[in-house]
Structures are given as C-alpha cells and as structure tokens.
Amino acid sequence: METSLKIAAALTSLCEWAARLAAVLLFALVAVIIYDVVGRKFFSTGSFILQELEWHIHGVIAVFAFGYAYTRDAHVRIDVVADRMNNRFRLWLELAVVVLLVIPFFLFIAWYGYEFALRAFERGEGANGGRGLPNRWIIKSAVPISALLTIAGCTAVALRLFAVLKRPDLITSAFVERGLWKR
Amino acid sequence: METLTEFLPAIMFLSLIAGLFTALPVPIVLAAITLIFAIIALALGEMRFVHLSLVPTRIYGGVIDNAVLVAAPMFIFMGVVMEKTRIAEDLLLTLQKLLVRVPGGLALAVVLMGTILAAATGIIGASVVMLTVMALPTMMRAGYSAPLATGTVASAGTLGILIPPSVMLVFMSDLLSLNLAKVFVAAFLPGLFLAGVYLIYLVVRALLRPGETPVPRSLSVDEKDGLWLEALISVSFPLILIVAVLGSIIGGFASPTEASGVGAFAALMLGLIRGRISWKVLGDATDSSLRTIALLFFIFATATAFSYIFRKIGGDDLIVDLARSLNLGDWALLFTMMAMVFVMGFFFDWIEITLILLPIFAPIVDLMDLGEHIAKADLVYWFTILVAVNLQTSFLTPPFGFALFYMKGAAGDLVEMRDIYRGIIPFVLLQVAVLFILIWQPELAMWLPNKVLGH
C-alpha cells in the first residue's frame, strides 16, 4: 500500500508540473494578445501567426490541467441526491467507474490521438491556407498528452481511493489539499 | 432489438441524467456513459469503429482549434485576478459608503457590484459564494432583514452569467455557431434592464417598508476622509476597465478574444497600481483560474465525445422526430425547450445544461420560424438570450434553485433556508416578468446588435 501511495504521489506531481506549465502560459497568452492588439492598432503589424499562436496557447491551457484538477477534487459534482448514499459505497463506485470505464476511455483517446498527431507529422501538415504556424503536429499532440495526463490523475485518485477504503489509517481522503505552487 | 436501437439515444441521455446524480464528477460520468454506449452501438452495428476513432479529432476541433474559445480562459483569469487582488471587495466597500445616505443603499451597492463585476469567473457556484461571503454578513449586521439580504445577494450573484463579458455566453455562442460579439451585444440591454428592475424594486421596497432596511445616515467625518480618492480608484478603475472591454466589442474595435486579453492585462495592472500583486497572489490566481478552466474544458471535451456518439446513434433524428411528432408548432416548442432548461437549472450549473442540452436543441432551433415576430437570422440569437435569462431564473427558484444551495452552504448558520426561500420570491417574479417581456419584445435584445453591428 505504501508503494502504491508513492506511485500516486509521483503521478500527482506529474500532473502538477503540467498544470504549472499551463499556469505560466496564462501570462504568455495575455502577452501575445496585447502584443497582437497593440501592434495591429498602432503599428499595423499583427499577423496570422500571432492569432494562431493565441489559440495554440489556449489549447494547452485548456487541456493540460484535467488530471491536476481531479487530484484536487475541483470537478463539479451534483450531490443533491447522493448525500444520502452510503459513503463507502460512493468511494467504491468512484473507484470502479474510474478504473473500468474512464481510464480505458482516455487510453482510447490517447492512442487515436497519437495516430491523429502522427498523421499530421508524417504529412507535414501546416496551417490552413498556408498562412500561420507550420508543424500542426505539435499542437495536435496536445490531445494525446492531455489524455495521458488525465490517466495519470485518474490513476493517482484511484490508488488513493483504494488506500482510503483498505487502509484508512494511512490516508483519509483520496484528494490532495495543497495548492499548485506549494511543495 | 429494433426498438432498442430506436430508443438507444433516449436511453443514453437518460442514463447520463441518472449518472450525474451519483455525485461522481460530471466529466467522469460523461466519459463513462460515452464509452458504455459506444461499445453498445458497436455491438449492435449502429456505428462503425472508424467513427469512434474520430473522437480525438472532434475533441481537438472543438476544444483546441477554436479561436473563439480563447476568450474563456482569459475572462476567467481576469475575474479571478480581480477577486484575489481584492478589487472586487474594494468596489463593494466603496459603493456601500457612497450609497449609505440612500434608503436600501447597501442592497443597491450589492446589485451594482454584481452588475459591474459580472465578469467574476462566471461560474454560478463560485460567484454566489464570493458575494455571500463578502456582502451577506455586512448586510445582516447593518440591520437588513434576512429575506431582503439573501434575495439581493443571490440575484446579484447570478447576474454574471447574463451580463457580458460572460463565460457562459462564450460557450453558448460556440455551441450554436454564433458570432460572439453579436451575442455579447444582444445580452447587454436585457442584462442592464434586469439590473435596473432590481434597483428600482429595492428602492421602492426600502421606501415602502422602512423596517427591513437600516435608517439612512450621513457619513461620519472619519468615513468621509479620503472617500473621493478611494471612490476614484476603487469604483472608476474597474468601471473603466469593464466599459473599455465591453465598449471595444460593442463599438467593433476589438474581437471578444482581444478584449478578453486586454481585460486580463488591465486587471493585472489595476492590481499593480493598488500594490496588491505579490507572488502569493499570482500563485493563488493562476491556481484558481486553472481549476475553473480545467473544470469547464474537461466537461466540454467529454461532452464533445458524448454528443458525437449521441448523434452517431441517431440522437439528432430522434430529437427532431420527437419534436415533429408532437406536432406542437414552433411557439409551443419554444416553451417546451424553455421548460426543460428551467427544470434542469434546479440541479445543474449552466455548464452541464448548455454543454449537454444546447447541441441537442440546436437542430430544432435551426428549423424554427416564428414569422413576423422575429427575423429568421436573429432567432437563434434571441433564443440564446432567452436561455440565459431563463437559466438565471431557474437557479433562483425554490425549492431546488442551484444558487440557493450554494448560498446556504457559504452562509452557514447566519441565515435559515426559509429566509432564503422567502427572500428570493420577489426577485424570481421580477425575473419571470423580464423573461416574458423579452419573449414578447425580441427588440429588447436584438435592437442594439442590429444597430451597431449591422445585420
């Protein structure tokens, strides 16, 4: 059990690094938009490249923190009815659903997402119409990477759920409290 | 077997609703149900494997390769920075001082703040909690009756989804393939109208029933000290920021994406001017923004997979056939959809409702024609605004109103659930009135966008 908690900690920390990258990119996105707007309005620079860069950065911010948010229990739950359910049953249910359905779902996304990005790489796909950023495979690989990070987050939560159910003396919650930047 | 394939989409949808009530995270439920029904559809020969392998492509196209959605993380970041640098709090405190001589002044300040800072993240749960924590204890201490205080806070806290820049409107316009700038402009007057109705109601109520509000007083010399400078910084700056963001969209100077980036930048600058930016604040702000962004986009990604499978197994046809076979006529259909949205708002935040229900409604709305009442090109915009106002009403309607639970959770023992229920009723009635005025007079939403952005 101690080993599986160590694995959970390592996977959690992987999710955290991805989320930190996304956090830093928030500032990068602000900077690119400001540079683009100021350039276009006042110096008539601005370009397709900048506008493409905007949604590229957005894409990474949008999908890189799925796993992180799950380790923090930040995803919405509709608990109006479920409050009356047995707590252990809820934990077992979450464990079963995550292991049997959600992780396979994202393995599927990771695999076909990888093929999707690989295809773009092999064909040397660039921007639509040729203007804009080349090498579409880079941003397309955000899909499989995000799926893998989600699997990492799901596995970490599943291992912790199992520990909570079997060894409540070791941990009492499947989720981590600390913030993104705290060690 | 044939009946099974025919009703498979209906079973899929109902399984999702049932699954959501297990209190597992919403995107986890979406992924699980999607996988189960994809396997069933494959086994029944309703879908070929090649379709399934296109799901990652769909997610990429919907979530990542999408220039419009760039506005969502930026508006969320802007709202969170305003919260963490306490710009929002300053605004409320100053408005409250400025309005202390007016009957019901504090309640008016809360509504005004809800209107100006409608941006604040745009997640109902979060904004109601924030406003409850910030304003409710102060109002109760100042001598406001519990029903009046709770009603004001809950309705001001939900204004955020309607008044642009609203993250909900960003997603709605993406799902219905609308022009985001036009959606923002269309929501502008109805949002201000609703806020105006609240303000008038509060003043009238304070005058008619003075017992519910504290006696207006003048400020003490201490309080007056430096008030004007304080007002200049804490009220005008955020006000200018919001007006600049919205103004540049309405005036056509900037796309909503550009406006969102400028808004986030300005919020950071405002924090710097106030000396509130530190590593800790930046850390908290990015962390909190990312959790909200991940929450939204995880549901969006999994809902994309869900709707794709739902459509592949004939969900669209089922919905359109169902709508046709009911033989209701377009008006009755409109009210049926509104009723569905309303009922879902008892339990779910807008995220689940718009991301799951709107793709299903889209083909029906496409076929709708209300003749003279509203131009065909404007119909879907008007529909979007109606859904937005409807959702806001639904969140506030007892006994299940989604916002009311969050409020009770944040307020703790400070107020009774009974007070919350009693307090919200007049506001819900005002909302319903505004909703019907909007149905009756589509011009309230469509006049401004057609005026400034052209047809």
pLDDT tens, residue by residue, A9-58: 999 999 999 999 999 999 999 999 999 888 877 777 767 788 889 999 99
Minimal-distance CA residue of chain B relative to A95: B24
Contact status, residue B172 vs residue B358, Cβ threshold 8 Å: yes
Q: At residue A99, what is the residue type?
A: V
Number of Cβ within 10 Å of residue B68's Cβ equals: 20
Q: pLDDT category, A183, cuts 50, 70, 90? A: low
Q: Quick one: how far is CA B391 from the chain centroid?
A: 8
In this predicted structure, what is the pLDDT of residue B33?
95
| CA separation for the pair B387, B391 (Å, rounded) | 6
SS3 label, residue A77: strand
| Residue B351 main-chain phi, psi, to 5 deg | -60, -50
What one-character-per-residue DSSP string does B237-301 give?
Answer: HHHHHHHHHHHHHHTTSS-HHHHHHHHHHHHHHHHHHTT---HHHHHHHHHHHHHHHHHHHHHHH
Contact status, residue B396 vs residue B427, Cβ threshold 8 Å: yes
In this predicted structure, what is the pLDDT of residue B186?
92
Taking an 8 Å cut-off on Cβ atoms, the answer to whether A102 and B260 are in contact is: no
| CA separation for the pair B251, B95 (Å, rounded) | 28
Minimal-distance CA residue of chain B relative to A97: B32
Contact status, residue B81 vs residue B37, Cβ threshold 8 Å: no
Give per-10-residue mean pLDDT for chain B (455 aa).
77 89 91 95 87 90 86 89 87 86 89 77 74 87 91 90 86 89 90 94 91 79 78 82 80 82 90 90 93 90 90 80 77 87 80 82 84 85 93 84 82 86 93 93 89 73
In this predicted structure, what is the pLDDT of residue B28?
95
| Residue B109 main-chain phi, psi, to 5 deg | -60, -40
CA-based nearest residue to B362, from B166, B165, B178: B178
| CA separation for the pair A118, A111 (Å, rounded) | 10
In this predicted structure, what is the pLDDT of residue B160?
81
Query: Both tokens of residue B127?
Result: 């904004």
Taking an 8 Å cut-off on Cβ atoms, the answer to whether B67 and A81 are in contact is: no
Minimal-distance CA residue of chain A relative to B61: A140
> What is the residue whose two structure tokens read 């009210």?
B335
Give contacts of A75 with chain B, Cβ < 8 Å.
25-28, 294-295, 298-299
Quote the ipTM score: 0.95
Test mutation, B30, B35, B60, chain A, max A CBs within 10 A: B60
Contact status, residue A133 vs residue A56, Cβ threshold 8 Å: yes
Query: Both tokens of residue B231?
Result: 């007002």
Taking an 8 Å cut-off on Cβ atoms, the answer to whether A105 and B261 are in contact is: no
In this predicted structure, what is the pLDDT of residue B252?
73
In this predicted structure, what is the pLDDT of residue B195?
94
In this predicted structure, what is the pLDDT of residue B355?
82
Q: pLDDT category, A7, cuts 50, 70, 90? A: very high
Give contacts of A59 with chain B, Cβ < 8 Å.
63-65
In this predicted structure, what is the pLDDT of residue B122?
66
| CA separation for the pair B40, B130 (Å, rounded) | 44
- Across-strand partners of A77? B25
Rounded to a whole number of angstroms, the distance from the CA of B229 to the nearest CA of chain A is 29
In this predicted structure, what is the pLDDT of residue B15?
92
In this predicted structure, what is the pLDDT of residue A84?
78
Query: b/e map of B72-88 (b: 16 or more CB within 10 Å)?
Result: bbbbbbbbbbbbbbbbb
In this predicted structure, what is the pLDDT of residue B126?
75
In this predicted structure, what is the pLDDT of residue B433?
94
**Taking the CA of residue A168 as centre, how many other CA atoms within 13 Å lie in the half-sphere pointing to its CB?**
3
Taking an 8 Å cut-off on Cβ atoms, the answer to whether B283 and A180 are in contact is: yes
Query: Which of B24, B294, B301 lies closest to A97 in CB terms?
Result: B24
CA-based nearest residue to A110, from A140, A78, A71, A69: A140
Give contacts of B40 with chain A, Cβ < 8 Å.
none
What's chain A's length in residues?
183
Query: Which of A34, A36, A70 lies closest to B25 in CB terms?
Result: A70
**Taking the CA of residue A18 as centre, how many other CA atoms within 13 Å lie in the half-sphere pointing to its CB?**
28
Taking an 8 Å cut-off on Cβ atoms, the answer to whether B70 and A55 are in contact is: yes
Query: Which of B31, B63, B287 lies closest to A179 in CB terms?
Result: B287
Taking an 8 Å cut-off on Cβ atoms, the answer to whether B352 and A180 are in contact is: no
Give contacts of A99 with chain B, Cβ < 8 Å.
none
Give contacts of B54 with chain A, Cβ < 8 Å.
112
| CA separation for the pair B159, A26 (Å, rounded) | 26
Q: pLDDT category, A149, cuts 50, 70, 90? A: very high
Which are the contacts of A145, defined by CB distance < 8 A and separation ≥ 6? A64
Per DSSP, A79 falls in state -
Query: Which of B32, B60, B400 lies closest to A97 in CB terms?
Result: B32
Q: Is the peptide bond before B398 cis (omega within 30 degrees of 0)?
A: no
Query: Which of A34, A79, A112 lies closest to B53 in CB terms?
Result: A112
| Residue B178 main-chain phi, psi, to 5 deg | -105, 165
| CA separation for the pair B275, B255 (Å, rounded) | 30
What's chain B's length in residues?
455
Query: Both tokens of residue B253?
Result: 């100077």
Rounded to a whole number of angstroms, the distance from the CA of A13 to the nearest CA of chain B is 15
Q: At residue B43, what is the residue type?
A: A
Rounded to a whole number of angstroms, the distance from the CA of B71 to the nearest CA of chain A is 9
In this predicted structure, what is the pLDDT of residue B121?
58
Number of Cβ within 10 Å of residue B227's Cβ equals: 14
Which are the contacts of A176, defined by CB distance < 8 A and separation ≥ 6? A12, A71, A72
Q: Is the peptide bond before B165 cis (omega within 30 degrees of 0)?
A: yes
Contact status, residue A112 vs residue B62, Cβ threshold 8 Å: no
Give contacts of A97 with chain B, Cβ < 8 Å.
24, 28-29, 32
Phi-psi region of A13 (alpha: psi -120 to 50; beta: other; left: phi over 0): alpha
Which are the contacts of B256, defined by CB distance < 8 A and separation ≥ 6? B68, B71, B165, B170, B180, B181, B184, B249
SS3 label, residue A20: helix
